[in-house]
Amino acid sequence: MTYLWVVFALVSAFSLATSDALTKKALRDSNEYLAAWFRLLFSLPLLFIIWFFIPTPELDREFYTAFFIALPVEIITIVLYIKALKLSPLSLSLPFLSLTPVFLIFVSYFIVGEKVSFRGGAGVLLITSGSYVLNIGEARNGIFKPFHAIAKEKGSVFMICVALLYSLTASLGKMAIEHSSPLFFAITYFIALTIFFAPIAFWRGRKDLGPFIMGRQYKHLITPGIFYGLMAATHMLAMKLTKVAYMISVKRLSLIIGIIYGYIIFKEENIGERFFGAILMFIGFVMIVTAS
């Protein structure tokens, strides 16, 4: 039972990578705002079913504080995340999610009191090295070219912002879970996200709404939504059972799964160098979260 959180985190990683790959496929002909909202919408049926089998916990001020601070940040994150999926290859954008533990060094210290040691600092260097290797093919044009390539790749820049914001929402989510329950928080949080993100999605996607509905493009987001709901439930369950940084580290295995999807489904190139970069980044954040 001690490592049950690892099982939940691995299921969450697989579900997230699968949802992302299927969402990216749907985004070929769909508005990214509408796609993001419908993925949220289709995540709710699974969560509603779970709601029937769990008790409602007593809620306090800390829960509401964490909940309502995290909510608007999460909405911004969703917009950036979905844009990154549309603009860049999975194998180039997703690995930057490994930066979340780097930001957690500082964010989690102030929110949940987590610290890292010298070994954790070494992990930061590995993550930085991994981000370099992602674009190592550009090195023939100059040793600093890979960093220039990162700056030019909009999807990667968006994903770096997502990694920063996730460090905040992950820490706040941990607070909310500790003052409620993991599944209750997952359900209510995703319901709130769906409601409050709706005006943004329909306004930004208003020109494409007619074709999106009449062409039944939304049906391609049903399966991604189901996997997204599974990701949310297992994410919160794992978060309850261990430290936030440990949980995020295992969940970031979704990066490796995402790269594999990018190669198999989207025939993305330079997969070898990017895969190695993702491995380096993964080893780096594992070193961070296992340091004590």
Express each pLDDT in 176-186 by its tens digit: 999 999 999 99
Q: Report which DSSP code applies to 60.
A: -
Angle at 80 between CA 227 and CA 280, to 5 degrees: 75
Give the whole-angstrom CA distance, residue 266 versus residue 21.
9
Q: Does 127 fall in a domain?
A: no
Q: Does 225 fall in a domain?
A: yes
Q: Does 133 fall in a domain?
A: no
Q: Flag whether the pTM goes above 0.95.
A: no
The string of pLDDT tens digits covering residues 109-142 is: 788 776 666 776 677 678 767 766 765 555 555 5
What own/partner pairs with CB < 8 Å and gap ≥ 24 does 146-154 have? Answer: 153/88, 153/92, 153/93, 154/83, 154/84, 154/87, 154/88
Q: Does 227 fall in a domain?
A: yes
Residues whose CB falls within 8 Å of the CB of residue 155, separated by 6 or more in sequence, listed in order: 83, 84, 85, 86, 87, 88, 89, 92, 93
Q: Which residue has the higher pLDDT, 89 or 149?
A: 89
Q: Does 158 fall in a domain?
A: yes
Q: How far apart are the first and last CA of the chain?
A: 22
pLDDT given for residue 148 in this prediction: 67
Q: Is the pLDDT of residue 292 over 50?
A: no
Give the whole-angstrom CA distance, residue 82 versus residue 36.
7
Q: Which residue has the higher pLDDT, 127 or 91?
A: 127
Mean predicted confidence (pLDDT) in 65-88: 88
pLDDT given for residue 6 in this prediction: 81
Helices within the chain (DSSP H only): 4-26, 32-51, 61-87, 90-93, 100-111, 118-133, 145-152, 154-178, 182-204, 209-214, 222-241, 244-251, 254-266, 271-290
Please give the single-letter amino acid code of residue 274: R
Q: Does 161 fall in a domain?
A: yes
Q: How many structural domains comprise the chain?
A: 1
Q: Which two tokens stand for residue 288?
A: 């961070």
The string of pLDDT tens digits covering residues 8-40 is: 988 999 999 999 888 888 777 778 889 889 999
Q: Does 87 fall in a domain?
A: yes
Q: Is the pLDDT of residue 280 over 80?
A: yes
- What is the share, in percent, of the chain residues with pLDDT greater than 70? 85
Q: In terms of residue numbers, what domain contains 209?
A: 4-116+154-273
Mean predicted confidence (pLDDT) in 137-165: 72
pLDDT given for residue 289 in this prediction: 64
Q: Does 134 fall in a domain?
A: no
pLDDT given for residue 211 in this prediction: 86
Please give the single-letter amino acid code of residue 186: A
